[in-house]
Amino acid sequence: MNSKTNQNISVGVDTGKFQLDIYIRPLDIFFTVKNDEKGIKDAVNSIKQYTPKRIVIEATGRLEMPFIMACAEANLPFVIANPIHIKRFAGAIGQRAKTDKLDAKLIAHYGEAIKPKLSTLKPSIMQAMSDLVSRRNQILGMQTMEKNRLQILPKDLAMTIKPILTAFKNQIEKIEAKIIKLIESCPDYQAKNIILQSMKGIGKIAAASIISNLPELGYINNKEASSLVGVAPMNKESGRFKGQRKIQGGRHQVRTVLYMAMMSAIQSNPVFKQTYQRLVAAGKPKKVAIIACIRKMVVTLNSMLRDGLFWDSVGRAKSSNLAIDAIVSC
């Protein structure tokens, strides 16, 4: 066992929908498990006996999250690697062949050679943030209903509503304070939060929703990002039938928050304001124009997180070494 622990053990995990391909370097151990609760438990138990320096898993979507949560619970050191970094590493070492085993081997080699910073992401915090954002949205909905009732009820009944509105306001403030505290508890979340909020229109709640409900952002391509949020128009065509392209699916919680963020952005952000006005002037319905702007926002945020860039006052992204250093471990 000592001979194993004295080595710089790096584990590469290639994630699939149905299986995890795992390579342990430099011991040249390869095995495959099902990407389900039992398979992940077996994988973690097998990996743990080698006391790895780092377990590197490529961020390909939420498929890796159950494994990451299991690693966090087992106190195993893990890295959620940016696929672009691994692809560039493959190019640098001249690897072109691609199989599940070779991919896992490449990821392990990347971990050993580059030694990426260990992730401080805590899946439990992500879930807590997601729950808090959901609860805030629920209270906001109830608050809106009570405000509407306040407008139509007799004045002598208004006093029964005002205390409820005060209670809602206090709860919303408490929830927002908890969200901020959770973000501040993790350097990786802080880095993402700073980049996200550098865009005018994205506030603390929108940033928290993206961090907790859209962790893939920055690791995927622009089309995938639009689809995940549910702002990519889908064709409806069959034979001679040509249906109107409509958005569907996606993560409604993020989309709802970004819709509200866009309402602010088209007032304060000159880039989105210009885009919105141009689309409306071209005859697009206002709601369609807003969704198009959200799609542009998602694509831009995806690029900003991917490249570690801030949004400047003229609507262009500018490089920041600080941002890149802070987010490289995500």
Summarize pLDDT for 90-134 with one digit per residue, the tens.
999 999 888 989 999 999 999 999 998 888 777 778 778 878 888
Mean pLDDT of 165-179: 92
Beta-strand relationship, 10-15 and 317-319 = unpaired
Residue 227 confidence (pLDDT): 83
pLDDT surpasses 60 at 238: no
For residue 40, pLDDT over 90 is answered with: yes
Tens of pLDDT, residue by residue over 193-214, are 999 999 999 998 899 888 887 8
Quote the pLDDT of residue 233: 62
Of the chain, the percentage scoring pLDDT greater than 90 comes to: 46
pLDDT score at 163:
92
Using the predicted structure, report yes or no on whether residue 165 has a pLDDT greater than 80. yes
Tokens representing 151? 């407008």
pLDDT digits (tens, 9 = 90+) for 125-162: 877 887 888 898 899 889 999 999 988 888 888 889 98
CB burial of residue 219 (10 Å; 0-12, 13-18, 19+): buried
The whole-number average pLDDT for the span 235-254 is: 54
Identity of the residue numbered 242: K
Q: Is the pLDDT of residue 317 over 60?
A: no
Percent of the chain with pLDDT over 70: 85
pLDDT band at 293 (very low <50, low <70, confident <90, very high): very high
Predicted pLDDT at 229: 86
